[in-house]
Amino acid sequence: MTAVVPGALDTDTRPAPDAVGARTVRAARRGRRALLRRPTFLVSVAILLGWVALAVGWHAFGLQPFAKTGGLLQPPSGAHWFGTDSLGRDVFARVAAGARPALLIGPFGAALATVLGGTLGLLAGYHRGWVDTALMRFFDVLLALPSLIFLVVLVGAFGVSTPALILIVGVLFAPGIARIVRATVLVEMGKSYVQAARLQGESAFRAMLTELLPNVVGVFVIQAVLSLGAAIFITASLSFLGLGSQPPAADWGLDINANRAYLQAAWWTVVFPGVAVASIVVSANLIADNLKEVTG
């Protein structure tokens, strides 16, 4: 007989010291607070929210992006903060109004890409085998195509309507997201909790939804924000190429193209829309970076 008396060594039946529990809760809260203490995160969120506000309510500010409100190609002044373009329209009003098309296709396209890519990545990582192989080889093909040229072809085929552009952006960005989600899922599948759930008779659908998804949702959020920046950039590129909004619509890519000729004489007509695109793309990336660092 061994000399073991059940319960004699009372180190583990006793609940874990409260310090342990409190520590994890505190760590989570500290993560959130740390996010709010990061200047790059706060500034980026403020910039994004500012653009959203302009996209939704630029009418309310009495801006007139389409009317001739001053002289031609006037440099920035008190009356026209960003100067005027070759038709005498206020560049500030046009940049503000241009937030609307940029924030229409980009976010919806990114959301579609995240849902589509995330689902396919989850399926591929969960089932592995031929499902995984088939999906991943197909994505490899999509990713091998130069995205802008591929996009131009698709736009040529399906037209430049907003729903078509959202769909195209969504399909274009989905493979990259699917790959990253799949990789994360594979790491989680290496842990035995999903197997344990399946052994208990949990259906594949429930195992994916209730066991896996909560553990990979952080990756979803980060990828969504990252693809938001990329989607806005690519839609601006499309309208620059004349494959998006048409004149006289206020659109950053369109304006940059229209005013290219005046770059030397009237830099403000090109620089301000360009800065607008850059500010959104950089903000989205910084937000994603901060999320990544905090969630670790």
Partner 1 sequence: MTEPLVRVEGLTVAYRGVRVVDDVSFTIEPGGSYGLVGESGSGKSTVAGTLTASLDPDATVSATTITVDGSDVVALRREALRRFRRDVVAVVHQEPGLALNPTMTVGRQVAEVLRARGSGRADAEAATVQAFTRVGLPTPETVGVRYPHELSGGQQQRVAIAMALVARPRLLVLDEPTTGLDSTVEAGIMALIDELRTELGFATLLISHNLPLVAAHCDRVGVLRRGVLVEEGSATRVLLAPSDPYTVQLVEALPDITAGKPAGRPAADESAADEPAAQRAPDVLVTVRGLRKEYEGQAALDGVDLDLHRGEVLGVVGESGSGKTTFGRALAGLVGYDGTIAVAGGGGHGVGRDPRRTPPVQVVFQNADASLNPRRTVRQVLGRAIRLLHGAGSAEELAARVGLAADVLDRRPAQLSGGQKQRVAIARAFAGPVPLVVCDEPTSALDVSVQARILDLVLDLQRTTGTTCVFISHDLAVVRRVADRIAVFEAGRIVDLAPAERVFDDGTHPRTRALVEAAFDLRRRAGLTGRVATA
Q: Which residues bind partner 1 (CB under 8 A)?
A: 1-4, 6-9, 11-16, 19-21, 24, 190-193, 195-203, 211, 214-215
Are 164 and 104 within 8 A, CB to CB? no
User: Please, which residue, 148 or 196, has the CB nearer to partner 1?
Assistant: 196
Minimal distance, residue 203 CB to partner 1, in Å: 7
Residue carrying structure tokens 């959301």: 111
Between residues 16 and 60, which has the closer beta carbon with respect to partner 1?
A: 16
Min dist CB 295 to partner 1, Å, is: 13
Q: Report the nearest approach of partner 1 to the CB of residue 103 (Å).
A: 32
For partner 1, give the closer residue by CB, 91 or 185. 185
For partner 1, the closer of residues 211 and 255 by Cβ is 211
Query: How many other C-beta atoms lie within 10 A of the C-beta of residue 109?
Result: 26
- To partner 1, the closest distance from the beta carbon of 25 in angstroms equals 8
Nearer to partner 1, 192 or 264 (CB): 192
Cβ 4 to partner 1 shortest distance, Å: 4
In the complex, the smallest distance separating the C-beta of residue 205 from partner 1, rounded to whole angstroms, is: 12
